[in-house]
């Protein structure tokens, strides 16, 4: 991180996620008995004004504009065929957000190239398309400032590496990303951990949601058929999810003391209503039929 203590008016800085800005004023003010030095910045593109204490500049990720060496590193990086974005959208979003705020010029290049390579496998969803555009915009802006050229030249400088002249983009296959996907889901817990860490739920196609809703509505009123329609995941939920609150599950005891058939019947959902009366093992002879009419008078 370059030194931020030797700032002067007119210096150009990069504010994370905002773009290029210039220092307009450095002033010491007394607030609540404390003397603080404030740096006033103007975002060049939007004209927005920001006033930041000098001590917080580095904490906020404000940095100086990249140098020619950084540009060379970025060009080398873009020439290499190394970047493969993670197929796990949650991990990808986390990484890209961190790169945008802390990664510098190389971080921006990583986001742009990663998403561009991913788009060669499948179209980007709208949110990522927006992220790609934002990253590209910040990247072009900083690159043009670092190289001292117009933005059109800066964008073309890295686009002739990403979109090679005279050649169409290659079609990627899922196998090329498979190595990364295997690392993420080593334990096979990805599906079970959804929602536990407080993260968002994965995107579900609308058609699947509709189908699930239709299934639920059909299942109402057909209590006996409903369990059959449930997916395999519901038939064998994880042990922690089955356990009632405040009680421990004794899976091992069940397995040891119960026969397998009984253990399986334990998992079946109970029928509603009063249980049927137990039938006697041997049927008793029916009582003799009563005679109709008035009983005879006593003599």
Min separation Cβ 164 and another protein, Å: 8
DSSP 90-105: HHHHHHHHHHHHHSHH
Min separation Cβ 88 and another protein, Å: 21
Min separation Cβ 42 and another protein, Å: 16
Q: Tally the C-alpha atoms within 13 A of residue 99's C-alpha that lie toward its C-beta.
A: 25
33 φ/ψ sector (left φ>0, alpha ψ -120 to 50, else beta): left
- Name the β-bridge partners of 36: 29
Pull the structure tokens for residue 270. Answer: 């109970």
Smaller CB separation from another protein, 130 or 218: 130
Smaller CB separation from another protein, 126 or 285: 126
Burial, 74: exposed, middle or buried (Cβ in 10 Å; 0-12, 13-18, 19+)?
A: buried
Task: Give the span between the Cα atoms of 175 and 163, in whole angstroms.
Answer: 22
Min separation Cβ 157 and another protein, Å: 4
Min separation Cβ 143 and another protein, Å: 9
Task: Give the span between the Cα atoms of 190 and 94, in whole angstroms.
Answer: 16
Please, are residues 92 and 125 in contact by the beta-carbon 8 Å criterion?
no
Binding positions for another protein, rule: CB under 8 A: 45, 71-72, 75, 78-79, 116, 119, 124, 126, 129, 132-133, 136-137, 140, 147, 149-153, 155-161, 163, 165-169
Smaller CB separation from another protein, 130 or 213: 130
Smaller CB separation from another protein, 106 or 147: 147
Smaller CB separation from another protein, 39 or 135: 135
Min separation Cβ 160 and another protein, Å: 5
Smaller CB separation from another protein, 7 or 96: 96
């Amino acid at each position: 991180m370059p030194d931020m203590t030797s700032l002067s008016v007119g210096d150009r800085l990069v504010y994370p996620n905002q773009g290029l800005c210039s220092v307009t004023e450095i002033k010491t003010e007394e607030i609540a008995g404390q003397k603080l030095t404030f740096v006033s910045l103007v975002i060049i593109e939007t004209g927005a004004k920001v006033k930041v204490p000098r001590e917080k500049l580095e904490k906020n990720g404000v940095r100086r504009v990249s140098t020619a060496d950084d540009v060379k590193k970025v060009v080398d990086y873009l020439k290499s065929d190394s970047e493969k974005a993670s197929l796990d959208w949650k991990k990808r979003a986390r990484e890209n957000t961190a790169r945008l705020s802390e990664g510098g010029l190389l971080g921006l290049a990583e986001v742009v190239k990663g998403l561009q390579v991913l788009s060669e496998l499948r179209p980007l969803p709208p949110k990522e398309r927006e992220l790609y555009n934002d990253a590209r915009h910040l990247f072009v802006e900083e690159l043009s400032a670092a190289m001292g050229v117009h933005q059109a030249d800066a964008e073309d400088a890295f686009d002739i590496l990403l979109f090679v002249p005279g050649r169409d983009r290659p079609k990627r296959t899922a196998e090329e990303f498979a190595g990364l996907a295997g690392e993420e889901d080593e334990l096979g817990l990805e599906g079970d951990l959804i929602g536990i860490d407080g993260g968002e739920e994965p995107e579900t196609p609308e058609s699947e949601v509709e189908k699930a809703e239709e299934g639920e509505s059909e299942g109402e009123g057909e209590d006996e058929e409903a369990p059959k329609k449930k997916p395999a995941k519901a038939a064998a939920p994880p042990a922690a999810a089955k356990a009632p609150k405040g009680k421990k599950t004794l899976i091992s005891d069940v397995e040891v003391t119960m026969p397998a058939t009984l253990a399986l019947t334990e998992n079946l959902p109970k029928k509603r209503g009063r249980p049927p009366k137990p039938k006697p093992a041997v049927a008793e002879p029916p009582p003799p039929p009563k005679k109709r009419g008035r009983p005879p008078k006593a003599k």
